[in-house]
Structure 1
Amino acid sequence: MMIFALIMLVIWLVFLLVGYGFYALSPWVIGIFIGINLLSFIITWYDKRIAAQNQTSPDTQRNRISEKTLYIYALIGGWPAAIIAQQYFRHKTQKNAFKYRFWLCIAINMLLTVGISYLYLLYIL
């Protein structure tokens, strides 16, 4: 599954580079996407860390990152890093309800990205 995650990341990076090279995608947009992905990776790592701490010391429970937050990051474009973080840290890889909703968020993000790109190319260029 880690290979699939890396392939998804490479495809995402190729799309960003094509957008930058051929369609004059602003470096700010690329920076925002990289920042969102960095934050997505960090919050997935942090949630896994808190989950592990809560298991080892049940007397000092700490609040975890909500699944809704993880879904929002996937919707706004942080899914490539989230996939890698999930596989690398083995976090939420067995929870089917989360996986289905997470992949639905990815599909919605991709559809919106393709739709916005199509409208941009159709009406702006």
Structure 2
Amino acid sequence: MSIEVISILFIINIIGFIIMGYDKNQSRRKGQRIAERTLFLIAATGGASGILLGMNAFRHKTKHKSFTIGIPLLLILNLLSVTYITKYIQN
């Protein structure tokens, strides 16, 4: 896998983690929240592990079935996609 792909995935996951912390903080302060759709979009584009780590670190969205089921499924999809890209497209 190229350094560019690794860098992009790393950045997306860092963003996902930070956004979960930000949304938790906004939730406590009754501020403007990040749309769940946006959180799922970040997870679907390769940031599922960052979102999942953020969920657990900040104890945010951990009681929502859509997140406790959806984000791990997107993580599996992310891993399958990276495996496919690494194995079939880059060779």
TM-score tier by shorter-chain length is: 0.7 to 0.9
Match of 1:93, SS state, is coil
Q: Which amino acid in the other structure matches residue 62 of structure 2?
A: T
Map residues 7-22 of structure 1 onto 2, 5 A cutoff. Answer: none
RMSD over aligned Cα atoms: 1.7
Q: 1:67 aligns with which of 16, 36, 50?
A: 36
Match of 1:97 in 2: 66
Match of 1:31 in 2: 7
Is 1:53 matched up with 2:29? yes
Unaligned runs of 5+ in 2: none
Q: Aligned-pair distance for 1:38?
A: 1.1
Match of 1:86, SS state, is helix
Q: How many residues align?
A: 91
Unaligned runs of 5+ in 1: 1-24, 55-61
TM-score, normalisation: structure 2: 0.84
Percent identity (aligned): 33
Task: Evaluate the alpha carbon distance shift between residue 113 and residue 27 of structure 1 in structure 2; reply closer, same or farther with a 3 A threshold.
Answer: closer
Moved over 3 A (4+): none
Match of 1:44 in 2: 20
